[in-house]
Structure 1
């Protein structure tokens, strides 16, 4: 195996780890529930006030992904502006009450359940190679001691409510560890949620 091959392998492993930084941990839906493309879906991100940028990105990306599938989704922040912004999971009931007497049929709330710092041990790494003493001195440098790293972990919960039937249609929980940017986190989260909505047959596959 050449040096370039080992280098490419290392890059691939790092890329795979990055792809897993945002993952869906559980999801559930009401049996036989389906969304109609013509009914308005209000997307509300419930996050601390100091995370306004992340709130806007979470709403905008979910709205964008739902619209790509042909659904009538709108952002609460874009519709009502910062003066009527909500924050925190405790405001979920208030959000439902706010839109109950409007033309909104469903409300999707996305709540930041937790944001925490975690200290994890990363063991030593290496790429064992057999039968080629020529490379022994080089690949030996690929091994290293273990170390500790601090990760930022976000926990998210999405709930989709039907206001007319007054019931929960869908719930999903997700983890996001060390997202590179707020935009990337919001984009990957939106893609995951819409893909799961399709898997759960709440919305049709395009």
Structure 2
């Protein structure tokens, strides 16, 4: 039940991936892991798969991961093109059929992205209290005028607001061995724009893969 709720949260997550009102959004890589059993890999054909049943979120994430990989000269295929969503299917495609289809198309790696957790953080937004001088003391003529001018100016109370924090995991699997070769965890605060958030997430993820010597470090023009 919890996993279903998490999967369904991808849209606000990725409406996630940018900030509520006065809160600025951010996506950052928290950490990564690379299998000690492998050296630098030269993956050339990668399937990108966003593990969610939300079609819009799946399209956005896979589109941007595909674009970032292609910038590095890697042929990337979206899983949504290999296995389009079905209105009648209540479960995903059989994993053995999925791997067989991926191998048939000559792919050598699978890059997955999944929302693994979400949390709510409460923060205090301070109010605005201060002196604002004027050139003319027109409000001093009466107590009513003075009070009505200064009270709303001096007293602007703070308030508490809640921010959503989303945690994502990205894994790279070798198709031939079916083994995990690289993994990274990231988080995103209070997203406002699906388009911006998905793009930032993809850029940071592929950049980290290059830094960890899993993908080519040079972006091909």
TM-score of the aligned structures, taking structure 1 as reference length: 0.71
TM-superposition CA deviations, 1:44-81 (whole Å, max 9, x none): 1001x2x2101110011001000001111110002332
**In 1, Cα distance between equivalents of 2:190 and 2:95:** 29
TM-superposition CA deviations, 1:86-112 (whole Å, max 9, x none): 999xx69x5476224432211111111
Classify 1:95/1:86 alpha carbon distance in 2 versus 1 (closer, same or farther; 3 Å). farther
The answer to whether structure 1 residue 35 and structure 2 residue 41 are counterparts is: yes
Aligned to 1:73: 76
Identify the structure with the greater helix proportion: 1
Q: Which has the larger radius of gyration?
A: 2
The answer to whether structure 1 residue 113 and structure 2 residue 116 are counterparts is: yes
3-state SS in 2 of match to 1:137: coil
Bigger relative contact order (CA 8 A; separation at least 6): 2
Classify 1:137/1:87 alpha carbon distance in 2 versus 1 (closer, same or farther; 3 Å). farther
**In 2, Cα distance between equivalents of 1:67 and 1:87:** 32
**In 2, Cα distance between equivalents of 1:86 and 1:152:** 30
**In 2, Cα distance between equivalents of 1:35 and 1:85:** 39
TM-superposition CA deviations, 1:133-175 (whole Å, max 9, x none): xx9536xx79964321122332211110002123111111111
1:22-101 pair list within 5 angstroms? 22-31=27-36, 32-37=38-43, 39-47=44-52, 49=53, 51-83=54-86, 95=95, 98-100=98-100, 101=103
Q: Provide runs of 4+ in structure 1 moved above 3 Å.
A: 84-88, 94-97, 141-146
3-state SS in 1 of match to 2:132: helix
Q: 1:157 touches 1:174 (CA, 8 Å); kept in 2?
A: yes
Quote the offset at 1:182 in angstroms: 1.3
1:1-206 pair list within 5 angstroms? 18=24, 21-31=26-36, 32-37=38-43, 39-47=44-52, 49=53, 51-83=54-86, 95=95, 98-100=98-100, 101-102=103-104, 103-116=106-119, 118-124=120-126, 137=132, 145-206=157-218
Number of aligned positions between the proteins: 175
**In 2, Cα distance between equivalents of 1:114 and 1:87:** 22
| Structure 2, gaps ≥5 residues long | 1-22, 134-152
**In 1, Cα distance between equivalents of 2:50 and 2:85:** 12
Q: 1:36 touches 1:71 (CA, 8 Å); kept in 2?
A: no
Classify 1:160/1:182 alpha carbon distance in 2 versus 1 (closer, same or farther; 3 Å). same
**In 1, Cα distance between equivalents of 2:80 and 2:89:** 9
**In 1, Cα distance between equivalents of 2:199 and 2:24:** 14
**In 2, Cα distance between equivalents of 1:54 and 1:63:** 14
3-state SS in 2 of match to 1:83: coil
